[in-house]
Amino acid sequence: MNIIKPKKLKIGDTIGILAVSGKIKEYQRIENAKKFFENEGYNVIVSETCKTSHRYMAGSSDEECIRNLEEFFSNKKINAILCARGGYGTLRLINKINWDIIKDNPKIFAGYSDITILLNLIFQKTGIITFHSPMASGDFGSDINDYTKEKFFNTLKGETKVIQSENGKNYYKGEAQGILTGGNLASLCCMDFLPDENIILFIEDLNEPVYKIDRMLTYLFNNNEFRKKVKGIAIGEFLNLEDKSMYEDLIFELGKELKIPAADGFKITHGKIKDTVPVGAKGLFNTQEGTITILEDYTE
């Protein structure tokens, strides 16, 4: 695959806030995020789909979401696209997107949760590195955490070299190299997801019972081709677990079965304190140090 590195974010750039997943319930948060970025020295364009909705999804229709997505990529004035929120909706779009428009107009594309689907498919179909990052409504539209803010800007400027876990548990010791791939576990299980190269899989989720986490991981790793590609599992937060001990038993069992490095403690999460992770960058994962070291530049 030909890797395409987006241009790094710089002061004065224009950030497009794009809604292509769940509907925006509190538009004031979009206004707050717009004001935040303007105060930081950026220009902001907000998609029409932030103001319209159908059922529980952003935009008056799927077609409006696709049109806004493609227009934001083709618009030369927009340097970076930040998704407004997650929820549900991106899966409905993926068979209708003109991927050539995206490939011909590489730029920063960032978000998490349901946006996981687009982060990984954009990389797989175009080679453009994307970013698992905080979003406009839930993060920048409310009280943004200083750590989250710093890591967001540092990473989009190409300055992050190491992603460090905190108080992590080592489920299977070791070190591995691979392309950083992943995000929200439930979203990963909804897409046609077979990497071309060896990967370091990073995962997170919230409000999922342990048996569903088990089912989702089993679903992914029942695919032998997928299993062969995963060389390490970097685990973010699984929030609101009803039985943490049972969950940890599950992950220990998975690491032992796969015999690949597995450790948690990474600030990859639906929570307030987040790292920003370049999807498609080459990384070195070390469970004993609790680090993901990014081995190559991921922006230009």
**Residues 6 or more apart in contact with residue 121 via CB below 8 angstroms:** 94, 191
Catalytic, 26? Answer: no
How far CA 124 is from CA of 119, 121, 141, 172, 192, in Å, comes to 9, 5, 30, 28, 10
Catalytic, 132? Answer: no
Hey, which residues does 164 pair with through a beta bridge?
291
Catalytic, 270? Answer: yes
Closest CA to 241 of 209, 215, 271, 270: 209
Give me the amino acid identity at 209: P
**Catalytic position from the list 64, 70, 204, 237:** 204
- Number of other CB atoms surrounding residue 291 within 10 Å: 20
Residue whose token pair is 């955490």: 145
**Catalytic position from the list 64, 187, 208, 270:** 270
**Catalytic position from the list 21, 53, 113, 137:** 113
Segments in the chain forming alpha helices (H): 27-39, 62-74, 99-103, 116-126, 146-156, 185-188, 210-221, 224-229, 244-258
Residue 67 phi, psi (nearest 5): -60, -45
**Angle formed at CA 202 by CA 198 and CA 203, multiple of 5 degrees:** 135
Q: Which residues are designated catalytic? A: 113, 204, 270
